[in-house]
A and B are shown apart, each in its own frame.
Chain A
Amino acid sequence: AQSVTQLGSHVSVSEGALVLLRCNYSSSVPPYLFWYVQYPNQGLQLLLKYTSAATLVKGINGFEAEFKKSETSFHLTKPSAHMSDAAEYFCAVTNTGNQFYFGTGTSLTVIP
C-alpha cells in the first residue's frame, strides 16, 4: 500500500523567507514522488518529480526537493518566498501502474 502524509495543513511565511513543506511517504516498493501546486480554481501543475535518478530534484519557480530514503521523506523547499507562491501544494506517490496517491495538501500563505 502507498500513501503520503503532509505535515501542516497551513504554513505561513514572510516574503523572502525560507519555504519548507513536509511530505513523508509510505511505499512497499521504490516510489516515484511528485509535488504539484494548485492555484485557486485551477487544476494541478507539476512542480517537480523524483524518479530514482538524482536525490536532489530541482523544479520550476525555484523549488527543489530532496528524496531521503532513510527518513522516507520528500520535503519541498524554496530559499526565498514570493507573494506569487501562495497556493495549495500537494505531494503524491506512485509506482508501477502510475496510480497517484495524493496527500491532503498544504496551504501556503506568504505575508508581505
Chain B
Amino acid sequence: EAGVAQSPRYKIIEKRQSVAFWCNPISGHATLYWYQQILGQGPKLLIQFQNNGVVDDSQLPKDRFSAERLKGVDSTLKIQPAKLEDSAVYLCASSLGLAGGETQYFGPGTRLLVL
C-alpha cells in the first residue's frame, strides 16, 4: 500500500514570496491533516479535512495560509506572503476517518526555509 505522498521535499524562498505544498493521502482515507512542525517542537495541527470539507482550521493563520481539498482526495496548502517565522516542516497526514483513536499516517514532510 502506498503511503502519504508530499511534494516538494524541500523549498527555499524569500520572505513575502508565495509557496504551495501538495499532498496525496493514502487511497480511501477520508480525513486529511496538515501540520506545521517548527524545529525543536512537536507538530501543530493547522487544518483538518473530512472529504472535501473543513472540520477544524482554528489554528490556521488565515491571513496568509490557505488550504483546499477540492475533490476530496489530494490537497494543497499555500502560504502567501511568507514570513521568516514560517520556516518549518509541513507534514501531511491521513486517516480512514475522524473517529477518536484513528491512526494518522504521515508523509515525509516538506521542509520550508524562508530567507
Contacts and interface: CB of A to CB of B under 8 A. Distances in A.
Given A96-B100, A97-B100, A98-B98, A43 B41 contact: no
Contacts of A98: 31, 48, 95, 97-102, 104
Contacts, number: 69
Nearest to A52: B101
Contacts of B95: 98
B109 interface: yes
Chain B interface, DSSP helix/strand/loop, else mixed: loop
Interface size class of chain A, counting residues whose CB lies under 8 Å from the partner chain: 20 to 34
A104 B31 CA distance: 24
Given A94-B101, A97-B100, A98-B100, A45 B44 contact: no
Interface string A79-109: 0000000000010101111111111110000
28 contacts: A32-B100, A41-B108, A41-B111, A42-B108, A43-B107, A44-B91, A46-B103, A49-B101, A49-B103, A90-B43, A92-B42, A96-B100, A97-B48, A97-B56, A97-B98, A97-B100, A98-B48, A98-B99, A98-B100, A98-B101, A99-B45, A100-B43, A100-B104, A101-B45, A102-B43, A102-B44, A104-B41, A104-B42
B20 interface: no
A43 B104 contact: no
Interface of A: 32, 34, 36, 41-46, 49, 51-52, 90, 92, 94-105
Contacts of A90: 42-43
Given A49-B101, A49-B103, A97-B56, A43 B109 contact: yes
B55 interface: yes
Contacts of B106: 36, 43-45
